[in-house]
Structures are given as structure tokens and as C-alpha cells.
Amino acid sequence: MAFLHDIYHRQEIVRAGRLPAEMVARNDAFEPRMIGMEPPGGVYTHVVGIDLVRTGEDEFHVLEDNVRTPSGVSYMLENRETMLQMFPELFTQNRVKPVSHYPQALRRSLAACAPKGTAGEPVVAVLTPGLYNSAYYEHSFLADKMGVELVEGDDLRVVDGRLAMRTTEGYKSIDVLYRRVDDAFLDPLTFNPESRLGVPGLFDVYRAGRVTLANAPGTGIADDKAIYSYMPEIVRFYTGEAPLLRNVPTWRCSNPQELSHVLAHLDELVVKEVHGSGGYGMLIGPAASRAELAAFRAKLMANPGNYIAQPTLALSTVPVLTRAGLAPRHVDLRPYVLVSPEGVTITPGGLTRVALKAGSLVVNSSQGGGTKDTWVLED
Amino acid sequence: MTEIRRLSVRHITTYAYDAPQSWGLLRLRLTPRSHRFQRVLSWSVTLEGARRELGYEDHHRNLVDLASLEPGASTVIIRCEGEVEVTDNAGVLGSQGGFAPLWLFLRETPRTRPGPACSALVSRVMAAESETLNRLHALTRALAEGIVFAPGATDVASTGEEALAHGRGVCQDHAHAFLACARAMGVPARYVSGYLLMDRIEQEASHAWAEAWIEGLGWVGFDPANCICPDHRYIRLATGLDYGEASPVSGSRRGTGDESLSVHVEVAAQ
């Protein structure tokens, strides 16, 4: 948060020489149109989903910071729902903290970020790219559980200087838009002019301080995988303290020395695209064939700045029921964090993602991963 | 002695649509802001066939208004009128400007991407001069000669490279070619839209020029279309990486039919 405000204002961290200017200047996730903008309530990242992995007893690492539009929270809620129905006795024997209030907490947290001067109870809406988006179910689920409207770009328009949605009783103003549409498609007048998912003039309304966008555009600069390698330094710069959770050691392939290390140890490392997500475009060295390694080496050398590399972590496992009985599978954990001027709320639960293939380290649902209910117990 | 001049501006933009429009938006960067060398004494933007929705300051600190077309409008008239007092600074503006970092002004945009013509000019200028300021003056002269004023030879989507390669264009093209070359030399540069007092009062369009960042001086203006540095005849309206970010009027509409645009600008000394 402090980082994002700084990056879009004075860039003290760059002036202080703690983050190289080119890390920002050459970064596509930096959104110049956010320069000098004060988002309502000072909040940039309203919903955060941090990917954590456990690599040893009491040893956790932050694998990724997801601060654009993290998804998957509906799985957290559905998994719990299913467990409660299938194994009600477990929840009488164990004191498991509930997660079912998440939609209400999300709504409250979003409402607390409404623009200054909002009269009465802020109107919240969820913007979805539509039925054909892979996360449409989650968008409609969350809107439904929060008791707010689910809208698409075509339902919205700038009316009387505000963002407004079409209803049976005419246009109604929106104060907070929980948008599940990527930055580039938010407003064809400002960003990608070909976008049919967004609302012309939405960014103007935002820039005028008359609507809240959650999360703010341009937050990708904070979860970019190259910036990730500076995160411990970033935490120290703004808080004066060492981070509580460790980052995974990361080699930046943009640096020639680090690149040569990565090339020499390609078969041991995990290599990821800087802006990649969903487990696409990555290499898991130990699991790759010779041909795959050679092909990836060529891609890496053609555009080293596009990649980072990390050691292959011994991710923790959980038991999974397979045809052959119980078997261990690797997991990671994504807790959900809500941020508003009233504070930071960590949901007591999260999404545990499971790599369903034996030995696989890729947990992304887009790569055939599964999910599990996750418990946080009362003390 | 510092020269101060009071300029009055009348700028009328008229859009005529073939058919009544059901919906449309206009983004206006038509309000100059006061700074050290430019004092806005009075300014008004009035609309006919459209209404102002909101206003804000963008990432280049331009004052932007968003307006929507009145439903059923077939004509929109945007009328700007005002008086501005301008001080002659020989083009040197200094370090004014918001939070945008200097490296941002080195970014290529589609309209300012250098090609063979710009690259050749850059090599020539770099070889001939060693100081940044002299290079930019040489660049200004070369572009004034290299691109002949020819309205209609280019359009709003044309690139500086195209204008230089064909040797024809308008002030917008001069500015884009300047930006392409200056950035290729490693000099941060930005597009400026505004008004220019000329010998005749009536003009076909508003003006455009460029500003470059020179260590020790800050932002310095260059007008390659007129082969001079801006003085107290120039009013700055908006800046950006290229025309797209500084254009006085842009917009989108959902409606059938063609549109015709007419612009009328009067700049007079008081």
C-alpha cells in the first residue's frame, strides 16, 4: 500500500536507490495514468490473495503476492459448505473458525472504501466480463452472497458525473465497483479501445474521485514477479522492519550474472514469466525433458528480462484419496486479505490448492489442480 | 526586461453528425492552467448539444472535462473563451510538472516511433552537435525544413516518421517527429497542445509543439513547425506523450452516420 502510493507519487524508494528505476520504467504493470491519483480511502489493494507454501516445519514462504483481481474465494466457501454437509461431526469435535461471513466482510470492507461524500449506505456492484469468463460463477456467487448487483460493461454508463447502472427504475449510481475485469479492458476511452467489456469514461469518473475501483488499476506493479524479488527490501524500506514471512530466493534473468547462473542450473530450477499467471509459460527444471529444457533455454535467452527463476521448493504435502488409497500431494495456501481504511482483515481460512498429479508442483486450477477445505482453529 | 503579453482566445469546435446521436462522450483538454509564465485571467468552456459530466486533473496535470452528448443531438458546439497573460521565457519552463518521472517521457508511442527517416536525422544531428541544447535546436531547424506545412497530407493517426519521410505535414506531425528524434537521442520529451498568436487573428486549428528536458534548464519548448522556441505568443493547454494524451477534444460515440468537424480559432493580442 505504502509502496503503491509511493510508486504513483514521489517514488521515494527509487530516489533512495533501494529499487532500480528500470524495474518500474520497463514494467508493463506500471500504469502511468495512475500517477498523482489518490484512490478513495487511500486503498489500492482491497482484496489480496497471497500464495504461501510450507517447505519445512514452521517454515513458510510467500510464493506470490496477488493484488490484481485474485480469484478462488468461492472455492473456499463451497469447500467448507460441502465439508459441513458431509462431515458435520467434525465441526462439533473441532473448534473451526467460520469462513461463511466472508461475503459480508467483503461487502463491509468495500463499502468502507466508498468515495468521500457518499450519501447513505454505499452502493456496491460486481463487474464481470460475462458468462464466458472462467470465473463467472465466482462473480455471480459473490454478488449474490453480498446482496449486490452483478453487472457487465453494457449495463453501466456515466450519468450525471457518476458511474451508474441500468435498473428497471432507470439509472442508479454506483459508489464502489468490485471489478473482476482486467485493467486493460476497464474503459475503452482510456485503455484498450477494442474492449467491449468495459465502460467508456469509467476511468474519468474514477480519476475525478467519484467511484471506487477495487482493486485500483495499476496494482500489478506490486505483484509482478520481478518486483517480487525486491519485496523484502520494499517491506524494510516502508516499515523499517524485517518481513515476517520469507520470500523464495529469486534470480532475475534480466541481470546477466544471474542469467548465467540460471542457464547453468536450468534442470534444477523453476523458471516463471514475469507477468505470467495460472501456471502457464513456466518451466519446472527437475520435471522437464531434455527437449523441453532446450526449448525453454532458447525462449529464456531470447528475452531474459521476461523471466525469473527460483529453486524448486520441497512443497509440503497433504493426503489425498486416490483410486489406490491415500497418497501425498503437494499444496499451497492462498489466504484472503481485505483492506479498507478501517483496517486489514485476514479471513480465517483460505484456498488450499492441490496438485492432483503425483509429484507435480503445479497447483493452479487451470493446470488440473484441485482444492481442499482449510481450517483455522480457535485457540 | 521581461516581456508580458495579454492574449485573448476564442476557440470554437463544431461537430455536425449526419444523424441524431443516441449516446456519446467527449473528453476535453481545453482549460489552460496557470503557472510561472502563464496566468489565466479568465476562461470559460461552454457546450451546446452536450453537457459537462465532471472534471479532473490527469497524470500530466492537465485539466480534463468529460462531457456527454445530449440524447438526439446532431450538432455539438464547444466554445472556449478567455484571456491569458503570458511571460516571455525564451522557451525555458523549468522544473514544473507533477509526479510523472522523467523516464516516462522517453517512452515510444505509436505516433512517435522512429523509423529510418528519424534515425537518419538523429545520427546527423548527433554527429553535428555535442550539446543537448544545440542538438535540439538543430533538430528543430531540420524538421522545419524537412516537413513542409501541408494541411490534409496527414491525419490525426499519422506518425512523425511518416511525415518526415514524405516531407509533408502539419504542426502535430512536426511535434511527433521531434519527440521521436529527441527520445531516440535519450532526451525526455513531451507533446504540447495550445494556442499561438500569429500575424493573422483567424486560424484553422489550435497549435502543437514539443518540450524537452535539459539537465540544468528543465523543460524547454521547441516549435519545429515555426522553427523557434515558444515565447509570449504561446499559450500551453495540455501536455502528454503524444497527441493522444494531449488532444484538445477526443471522444467516442454510439450512433450511425458520419461526422464533420470544423474548428475556428482566434488569438489576438490585447
The mean per-residue pLDDT over the stretch A225-253 comes to 92
pLDDT tens sequence across A332-341: 999 999 999 9
Quote the pLDDT of residue A277.
67
Same domain, A306 and A343: no
Domain containing residue A185: 2-243+316-372
Contact assessment for residue B63 and residue B54, using Cβ atoms and an 8 Å cutoff: no
Which residues in chain B have Cβ-Cβ distances shorter than 8 Å to A204? 27, 53-54, 56, 64, 66
Contact assignment for A157 to B99 by CB distance below 8 Å: no
Per-residue model confidence (pLDDT) at position A137: 96
- CATH number of the domain at B4-87+248-269, please? 2.60.40.2250
- Length of chain B counted residue by residue: 270
Q: How confident is the model at residue B173 (pLDDT cuts 50, 70, 90)?
A: very high
Q: Is the dihedral of CA A261, A265, A269, A273 positive or negative?
A: positive
pLDDT tens figures, A28-61? 899 999 999 999 999 999 999 999 999 988 899 9
* A305 shares a domain with A320: no
A258, A120: one domain: no
Q: What is the pLDDT of residues A289-313, one digit of tens each?
A: 999 999 999 999 999 988 999 999 8
Q: Find, in chain A, the residue whose alpha carbon is nearest to that of B65.
A: A204
Q: Is residue A377 part of a domain?
A: no
**How many structural domains are present in chain A?**
2
Summary mean pLDDT of chain B = 93
- Quickly count: other Cβ atoms within 10 Å of residue A86's Cβ: 9
Do A271 and A321 sit in the same domain of this protein? no
Does one domain contain both A329 and A302? no
B186 touches chain A (CB under 8 A): no
- Domain shared by A191 and A265, yes or no: no
Instruction: For residue B266, give how far its alpha carbon lies from the nearest alpha carbon of chain A (Å).
Output: 29
Q: What is the CATH number of the domain that holds A301?
A: 3.30.1490.270
Residues of chain B with CATH 2.60.40.2250: 4-87+248-269
Q: Test B100 with A200 for CB contact under 8 angstroms.
A: no
Question: What pLDDT does A207 receive?
Answer: 98
Q: So what's the pLDDT on residue A264? A: 95
Please report which confidence band the pLDDT of residue A361 belongs to, taking 50, 70 and 90 as the band edges.
Answer: confident
- The C-alpha angle with vertex A339 and arms to A220 and A147, in degrees rounded to 5, equals 105
Which of the listed residues A311, A344, A362 is the one where a domain comes to its end? Answer: A311
> Of A155 and A195, which is predicted with more confidence?
A155
Contact A41, A212 (CB under 8 A): yes
What is the C-alpha to C-alpha distance for residues B23 and A161, in angstroms, rounded to an integer? 15
Q: From the list B64, B68, B103, which residue is nearest A158 (CB)?
A: B68
Burial class of residue A287 in the structure, from the number of CB atoms within 10 Å of its CB (0-12 exposed, 13-18 middle, 19+ buried) = middle
Same domain, A282 and A324: no
Banded model confidence at residue A225, pLDDT cuts 50, 70, 90: confident
Same domain, A74 and A27: yes
Give me the amino acid identity at B249: V
pLDDT at residue B202 above 80?
Answer: no
Question: Looking at the predicted structure, is the pLDDT value of residue B1 above 60?
Answer: no
Best probe of the A interface among B68, B108, B109, B247, by most A CBs < 10 A, is B68
Let me know if residue A258 belongs to a domain: yes
Residue at A379 is within a domain: no
Q: Which residues contact A53 (CB under 8 A, 6 or more apart)?
A: A60, A61, A63, A248, A313, A315, A316, A332, A333
Class of domain B92-246 as given by CATH: alpha beta
Report the pLDDT value the prediction gives residue B256, as an integer from 0 to 100: 73
What is the predicted pLDDT for the residue at A357? Answer: 86
Q: Is residue A7 part of a domain?
A: yes
> Same structural domain for residues A212 and A357?
yes
Which of B59, B103, B106 has the CB atom closest to A33's CB atom?
B59
Look up the ipTM and state it.
0.94
A259 vs B205, higher pLDDT: A259
Q: Are B66 and A200 inside 8 Å of each other by CB?
A: no
Per-residue confidence (pLDDT) for residue A363, from 0 to 100: 81
Q: Where a domain ends, among A294, A311, A328?
A: A311
Confidence (pLDDT) at A278: 66
Residue B91 has pLDDT above 90, yes or no: no
Residue A46 is assigned to a structural domain of this protein: yes
Parts of chain B belonging to CATH 3.10.620.30: 92-246
Instruction: Express each pLDDT in B121-132 by its tens digit.
Output: 999 999 999 999
Residues A205 and A346 in one domain: yes
According to DSSP, the residues that pair with A127 across neighbouring strands are A151, A179
Q: What is the DSSP string of B42-89?
A: EEEEEEESEEEEEEEE-TT--EEEEEEEPTTEEEEEEEEEEEEEEE--
Please list every residue in chain A whose beta carbon sits closer than 8 Å to the beta carbon of residue B25.
158, 189, 200-201
Q: What is the mean pLDDT of residues B91-100?
A: 84
The mean per-residue pLDDT over the stretch B140-160 comes to: 93
**pLDDT over 90 percentage in chain B:** 81
Bridge partners of residue B265, in order along the sequence: B11, B203
Is B166 a residue whose pLDDT tops 80?
yes
Q: Does B110 lie at the interface with A, CB-CB under 8 angstroms?
A: no
Q: Which of A264, A296, A311 is the last residue of a domain?
A: A311
Residue B96 has pLDDT above 80, yes or no: no
CA distance A111 to A123: 7
Q: What is the mean pLDDT of chain A?
A: 93
| Residue range A235-254: mean pLDDT, rounded | 93
Residues A89, A14 share a domain: yes
Domain match, A136 and A226 both:
yes
What is the rounded average pLDDT of the residues A355-372?
82
